[in-house]
C-alpha cells in the first residue's frame, strides 16, 4: 500500500489555486483586494484592485475654495492629517507669495513631527500585531492618545484635525498644549526604547521580518517609492532635507537609511525617524523661546480668515471675511508644485490656478498610491504569510491610496 | 471589593431559591453583553475604532472583547468609513452572510449619509443598501461617541424580541431592501 | 538650490532636441517645457539616462483638461533629478478626439498606475501600456470623471431634487 501521494498529469496538486484576498480581509487593514495565484503557500502571481473607497478628492477640490480644501486633505492620510493640512497650506502660500513668520514655521514643525510619530506608531505597532505580538501595539497606542490630546488643545479635534489656516494657525497654542507636549517628550522616549527592546532583537520578530520583501534601491527608484520605504532601501531622499520647507533648514536632524529594504529595515527606519522627530520637536521648543509668543499667523488679512469675534464687531474684519469667503481676492493664474515629506513619502500638491476662487486643477501626488503599485509584482515568489507582513509594513493608507 | 461590575438581573419574580423571568429578557441580556462586532473599517473612522478598541478606551469593557472578522459569526456589523459605489456590493454581501440576529451600526458621517463626499463615486449613506439600527454622527466620531452608539445597540438588543426575523415589520423592512 | 540651474538644463535639452520643445515658463523656479507626443519618450529617456542630468525619479504623471482649447487635454510629467536636486515639468497637449500618447512604462515601472489613473480620470490612452484598465472607478463606467463637463455630484440622485428645498 502506498503511503505517499501519487503524482500524475491530472493530479490536483499540480494545479494552482486562486485566492481572493480582500477587500474586507482583516489582515489587510483596509480595503485592498489582491487576487493571488498560489502554488501551495507560495504566490505565483497577483493582481491588485484598488479604488474601493475612491471619493473623488480631485473633482471636489475643483469645486471648493482654497480654504475649504484643507478638510479634504485631512482625509488623505488620516493617520497623519496635520502633515497634509500643512502641506496644502504651504502650497497655497507658495502660490500667493505669503511669507510665514518663523514662529509659525516652528509650530508647524512641532505639529507635523507629532503627526509623523503617530503615523509610525500605528505602522510599527500593527506590524507587531501581524507578527503575533499585541503588547507593543497596546503600549504605543497609549502615546498616540497623548498626541491626540495635544492636537485637541491645538485645534479641538483628534484625527481629522483641520489644523491651521492659510497663513498660519487659527489660534495660538495654549499653555496646556505646551505642558502636554513637554510631558509627552519626557514620557514617550522610554516607551519607545522599551518597544524597541521588545522587538529589535526578538528572535521571532527578526526571523519573521528579516530578509522578507527585500527591495533594491534601483527597483525602489524605478517604482518612484519615497519616504521610509525608499530610505529603507538605501536611498537618502527626504524632502525635508532636500527641498526644505517650513524652515527645516534651521534644524539639525539625520535621515536614517536602511540596508536592503526588507521589512525589518523599514521597521528600524521608522523607529529611528520617531527619534529624529522627537529631536526636531525639542529643537523647535528651544527655538520658540526666542520668538515673540503672540504671533501665530502671517499678516495677510486678504487671505487669512479673521476670528469670528472680529467679524461680528469690526468692519474691516467683516469686509475681509466677506472677500475671502466669496472669493473676491484675486489670485495669480499660474501653476505650483509643492511637496512635503509625509509619513509615507513625498506628498505633492500640483495646483493649477486660473485666478478664480477654486483651483482649476488640483492633483495630489499620493505616496501610498505610488508605493503600493509594487506590491503585486514584488509578491511573486513570496510566501503568503510574508506578503501579509509586507503589506502592513508598506503602511498603505486606504484614503490616500484611493483619493 | 472588586472593581468588576456584574450586570443586574432583569425584571422578574424572585423567591426563595428561584428566579423567574421571560426567556426574551434573559437571552436579550446575554446577547447585549457579549456582542461580537464585525469591524467593517474602510477609512478614517476605522482608525478611531482602533483607538476605541485599544488600551485607552477599551471596548472590551462592554462585552465586545471578541472582534469577529468573519461575518458568519458576527452579531453587529459596524460600518466605519466611506463606502464607495465600488464597495457597495461587497458590503451588502457581508451583510447577507451574517446570521440572524444581526444589527448594523453606521459609524461616522460617510457611512450615515455620504458625509462631505457628495460625489459621483460615493454611496450616500449605507442605508441605501442595507438597513441600519444606529447612526453615530461625527467625522470621525470620537471613541466616546462610538461607545455611545454601541451602548445604544446594547439597549436595542436587550429589548429585542427573541425571534425578530419572524416579525412582519422586520420582514417588510428587509423586503424593502430586496433581501430574501 | 539645485546643482544645475534652469538655464543650463534648458540649454542641455535644447542642444539635443533642437526646436522640439517650447519653454512655457519657470513658475516658482520649476522649469516647465511643452513638447509633442512624438518625441516625449525620447526626451524622458534622455533626461533619465544623460549622465549630467539624471532625472531618475518620476515624481508624477497627471493630466489637465481645457475644454476650450484646440488641444484640450494635457498630460503633465514631473521629474526629479535626485543627484542634482532639480525638478522639471513637461507637458504634452493632445488634439481633440485623439487622446493617444506613448506609454512611459518603458522608462519607469512606476509610471504604470499613474498612467492608469490618468486614463481613468481623463481617458488618455497610453499606447503600449501593459494593462490599461480603470483603476479607481468602477470598471463599467463609461465617462471620464475629471473632464470638466462631468458633474461632481451623482446625476442619478433622487433625494436632491429642487422641490425638496422649495425651489
Domain co-membership, A25 together with A134: no
Inter-chain residue contact A141 with B50, CB threshold 8 Å? yes
pLDDT bracket for residue A283 (50, 70, 90): very high
* pLDDT value of residue C2: 65
| Residues A312 and A353 both lie in one domain | yes
CATH for A174? 1.10.645.10
Residue C75 lies in a domain: yes
Average pLDDT on A371-395 reads: 91
Tell whether the torsion through CA atoms of A222, A228, A232 and A238 is positive or negative. positive
- Residues C121 and C63: beta-carbon distance below 8 Å: yes
Q: Above 60 in pLDDT, residue B53?
A: yes
Q: What does the H/E/C string look like for A214-279?
A: CCCHHHHHHCCCCCHHHHHCCCCCCHHHHCCCCCHHHCCCCCCCCCCCCHHHHHHHHHHHHHHHHH
Cα–Cα distance measured from residue B144 to residue A115, given in angstroms and rounded to the nearest whole number:
22
Inter-residue contact A389 to A43 (CB < 8 Å): no
Q: What are the DSSP E strand ranges found in chain C?
A: 21-25, 31-35, 57-65, 73-81, 86-94, 100-102, 125-127
In a domain, A273, yes or no: yes
- Do residue A317 and residue A382 come from a single domain? yes
In a domain, A10, yes or no: no
Are residues A24 and A138 both part of a single domain?
no
pLDDT number for residue A8: 63
The CA distance from A279 to A264, in Å, is 23
Does residue A373 belong to any structural domain of this protein? yes
Output the pLDDT for position A96. 92
- Write out chain C residues lying below 8 Å of A242, CB-based: 82, 85
Specify the pLDDT at position B61.
87
**Contact flag B120-C152 (C-beta cutoff 8 Å):** yes
Q: Is the ipTM of this complex over 0.85?
A: yes
Q: In chain C, how many domains are there?
A: 1
Q: Are residues A211 and A249 in the same domain?
A: yes
- The enclosing domain of B45 has a CATH number of 3.40.50.12280
Is a pLDDT exceeding 90 seen at residue A112?
yes
Provide the b/e sequence for A296-329 (b: ≥16 CB within 10 Å). Answer: bbbebbebbbbeeeebeeeeebeebbeebeeeee
Q: Is residue C1 part of a domain?
A: no
Burial letters C13-35, b for 16+ CB under 10 A, else e: beeeeeebbeeeeebeebbbbbb
Q: Mark whether A38 and A73 lie in a shared domain.
A: no
Q: Examine residue A7 and state whether it is found in any structural domain, yes or no.
A: no
Report, as an integer, the average pLDDT of B12-17. Answer: 90
Quickly tell me which residue has 462610538 as its cell: B146
Q: Are A136 and A125 in contact (CB under 8 A)?
A: yes
Q: Does the pLDDT at position B115 exceed 90?
A: no
Chain C residue with minimal CA distance to B89?
C138
Q: Which residues on chain A are in Cβ contact (under 8 Å) with B119?
A: 55-56, 59-60
Q: Are A136 and A371 in contact (CB under 8 A)?
A: no
**pLDDT one-digit tens code per residue, A287-315:** 999 999 899 999 998 889 888 888 999 99
Lowest mean pLDDT of A197-211, C43-57, C146-160, name the range: C146-160
* Domain annotation covers residue C161: no
The total of structural domains in chain A comes to 2
Give me the pLDDT at residue B159, please. 86
* Cα gap A48→A29, rounded to integer Å: 15
Chain A interface disruption, residue of B37, B45, B53, B55, most A CBs within 10 A: B55
- For residue B46, give the chain A residue with the closest CA: A30
Nearest to A292 by CA among A36, A131, A10, A101: A101
Tell me, yes or no, whether A5 lies in a domain: no
Chain Cα centroid distance, residue A251: 21
pLDDT at B1: 61
Q: How distant, in Å, are the alpha carbons of B65, C118, C149 from that of A38?
A: 34, 31, 44
Percent residues over pLDDT 70 in chain A:
97
Parent domain of B121: 37-154
CA distance C161 to chain B (A): 14
What letter does residue B48 receive in the DSSP assignment? H
Mean pLDDT, chain B, whole residue set: 88
Touching B: A residues 93-132, CB under 8 Å: 122
Give a yes or no: residue B25 inside a domain: no
Residue A145 lies in a domain: yes
| pLDDT for A28 beyond 80 | no
| Domain extent at residue C25 | 6-154
Structural domain for A34, as ranges:
16-49
Is pLDDT of C1 > 60? no
Interface test with B, best of C120, C136, C138, C144 (most B CBs within 10 A): C138
Query: In the prediction, which pLDDT does C71 show?
Result: 92
The count of domains in chain B is 1
Query: Distance from A47 to chain C by nearest Cα, in Å?
Result: 11
Same domain, A153 and A38: no
With cell 494635457, the residue in question is C74
Specify the pLDDT at position A3.
62
Q: Is the pLDDT of residue A2 over 60?
A: no
Residues in chain A: 403
Mean pLDDT calculated for residue range C33-61: 92
Asked if B52 and B170 touch (Cβ cutoff 8 Å), the reply is: no
C-alpha cell at position A170: 487659527
Strand, coil or helix: C60:
strand
Q: pLDDT band at B160, cuts 50/70/90?
A: confident
Between CA A388 and CA A21 the distance in angstroms is 10
DSSP C22-53: EEEE-GGG-EEEEE-TTTHHHHHHHHHH-TTT
Reply yes or no on whether the pLDDT at A1 is more than 70: no
Say which CATH number the domain at C104 has.
3.30.460.80
Residue listed under C-alpha cell 444589527: B103
Residue C165 lies in a domain: no
Q: Pick the range with the lowest mean pLDDT from A50-54, B176-180, C107-111.
A: B176-180
Amino acid at each position: 500500500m502506498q503511503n505517499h501521494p501519487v503524482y500524475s498529469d491530472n493530479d490536483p496538486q499540480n494545479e494552482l489555486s486562486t485566492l481572493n484576498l480582500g477587500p474586507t480581509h482583516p489582515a489587510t487593514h483596509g480595503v485592498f483586494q489582491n487576487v493571488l495565484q498560489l502554488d501551495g503557500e507560495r504566490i505565483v502571481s497577483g493582481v491588485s484592485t484598488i479604488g474601493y473607497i475612491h471619493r473623488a478628492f480631485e473633482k471636489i477640490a475643483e469645486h471648493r475654495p482654497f480654504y475649504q480644501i484643507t478638510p479634504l486633505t485631512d482625509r488623505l492620510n488620516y493617520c497623519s492629517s496635520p502633515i497634509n493640512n500643512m502641506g496644502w497650506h504651504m502650497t497655497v502660500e507658495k502660490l500667493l507669495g505669503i511669507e510665514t513668520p518663523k514662529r509659525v514655521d516652528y509650530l508647524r514643525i512641532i505639529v507635523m513631527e507629532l503627526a509623523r510619530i503617530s503615523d509610525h506608531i500605528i505602522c510599527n505597532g500593527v506590524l507587531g500585531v501581524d507578527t503575533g505580538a499585541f503588547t507593543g501595539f497596546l503600549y504605543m497606542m497609549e502615546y498616540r492618545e497623548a498626541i491626540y490630546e495635544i492636537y485637541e488643545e491645538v485645534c479641538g479635534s483628534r484625527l481629522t484635525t483641520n489644523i491651521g489656516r492659510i497663513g498660519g494657525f487659527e489660534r495660538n497654542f495654549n499653555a496646556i498644549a505646551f505642558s502636554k507636549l513637554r510631558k509627552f517628550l519626557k514620557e514617550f522616549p522610554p516607551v519607545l526604547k522599551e518597544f524597541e527592546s521588545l522587538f529589535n532583537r526578538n528572535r521571532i520578530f527578526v526571523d519573521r521580518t528579516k530578509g522578507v520583501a527585500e527591495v533594491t534601491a534601483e527597483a525602489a527608484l524605478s517604482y518612484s517609492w519615497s519616504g521610509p520605504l525608499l530610505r529603507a532601501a538605501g536611498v537618502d531622499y527626504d524632502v525635508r532635507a532636500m527641498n526644505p520647507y517650513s524652515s527645516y533648514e534651521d534644524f539639525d536632524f539625520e535621515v536614517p537609511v536602511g540596508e536592503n529594504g526588507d521589512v525589518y529595515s523599514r521597521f528600524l527606519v521608522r523607529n529611528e525617524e520617531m527619534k529624529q522627530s522627537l529631536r526636531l520637536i525639542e529643537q523647535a521648543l528651544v527655538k520658540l523661546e526666542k520668538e515673540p509668543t503672540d504671533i501665530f499667523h502671517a499678516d495677510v488679512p486678504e487671505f487669512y480668515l479673521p476670528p469670528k469675534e472680529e467679524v461680528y464687531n469690526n468692519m474691516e474684519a467683516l469686509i475681509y471675511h466677506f472677500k475671502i469667503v466669496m472669493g473676491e481676492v484675486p489670485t495669480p493664474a499660474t501653476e505650483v508644485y509643492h511637496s512635503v515629506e509625509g509619513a509615507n513619502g513625498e506628498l505633492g500638491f500640483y495646483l493649477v490656478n486660473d485666478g478664480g476662487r477654486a483651483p482649476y486643477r488640483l492633483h495630489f501626488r499620493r505616496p501610498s498610491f505610488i508605493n503600493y503599485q509594487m506590491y503585486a509584482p514584488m509578491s511573486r515568489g513570496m510566501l503568503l504569510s510574508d506578503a501579509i507582513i509586507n503589506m502592513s509594513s508598506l503602511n498603505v493608507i486606504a484614503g490616500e491610496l484611493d483619493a | 471589593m472588586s472593581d468588576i461590575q456584574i450586570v443586574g438581573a432583569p425584571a422578574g419574580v424572585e423567591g426563595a431559591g428561584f428566579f423567574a423571568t421571560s426567556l426574551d429578557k434573559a437571552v436579550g441580556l446575554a446577547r447585549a453583553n457579549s456582542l461580537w462586532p464585525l469591524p467593517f473599517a474602510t477609512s478614517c473612522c476605522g482608525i478611531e475604532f482602533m483607538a476605541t478598541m485599544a488600551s485607552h478606551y477599551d471596548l472590551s469593557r462592554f462585552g465586545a472583547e471578541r472582534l469577529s472578522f468573519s461575518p458568519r459569526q458576527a452579531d453587529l456589523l459596524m460600518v466605519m468609513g466611506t463606502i464607495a459605489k465600488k464597495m457597495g456590493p461587497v458590503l451588502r454581501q457581508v451583510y447577507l452572510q451574517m446570521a440572524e440576529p444581526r444589527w448594523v451600526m453606521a459609524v461616522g458621517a460617510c457611512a450615515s449619509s455620504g458625509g462631505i463626499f457628495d460625489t459621483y463615486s460615493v454611496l450616500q449613506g449605507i442605508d441605501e443598501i442595507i438597513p441600519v439600527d444606529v447612526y453615530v454622527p461625527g467625522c470621525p466620531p470620537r471613541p466616546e461617541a462610538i461607545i455611545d452608539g454601541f451602548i445604544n445597540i446594547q439597549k436595542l438588543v436587550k429589548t429585542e424580541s427573541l425571534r425578530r426575523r419572524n416579525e412582519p415589520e422586520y420582514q417588510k423592512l428587509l423586503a424593502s431592501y430586496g433581501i430574501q | 538650490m539645485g546643482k544645475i540651474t534652469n538655464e543650463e538644463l534648458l540649454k542641455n535639452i535644447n542642444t539635443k532636441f533642437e526646436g522640439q520643445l517650447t519653454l512655457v515658463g519657470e513658475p516658482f523656479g520649476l522649469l516647465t517645457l511643452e513638447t509633442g507626443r512624438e518625441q516625449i519618450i525620447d526626451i524622458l529617456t534622455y533626461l533619465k539616462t544623460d549622465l549630467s542630468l539624471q532625472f531618475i525619479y518620476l515624481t508624477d504623471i497627471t493630466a489637465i483638461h481645457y475644454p476650450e482649447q484646440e488641444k484640450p487635454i494635457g498630460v503633465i510629467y514631473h521629474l526629479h533629478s535626485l543627484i542634482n536636486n532639480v525638478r522639471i515639468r513637461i507637458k504634452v497637449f493632445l488634439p481633440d478626439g485623439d487622446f493617444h500618447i506613448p506609454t512611459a512604462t518603458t522608462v519607469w515601472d512606476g509610471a504604470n498606475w499613474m498612467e492608469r489613473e490618468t486614463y481613468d480620470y481623463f481617458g488618455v490612452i497610453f499606447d503600449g501600456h501593459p494593462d490599461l484598465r480603470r483603476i479607481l472607478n468602477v470598471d463599467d463606467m463609461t465617462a471620464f470623471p475629471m473632464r470638466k463637463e462631468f458633474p461632481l455630484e451623482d446625476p442619478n440622485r433622487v433625494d436632491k431634487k429642487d422641490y425638496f428645498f422649495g425651489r
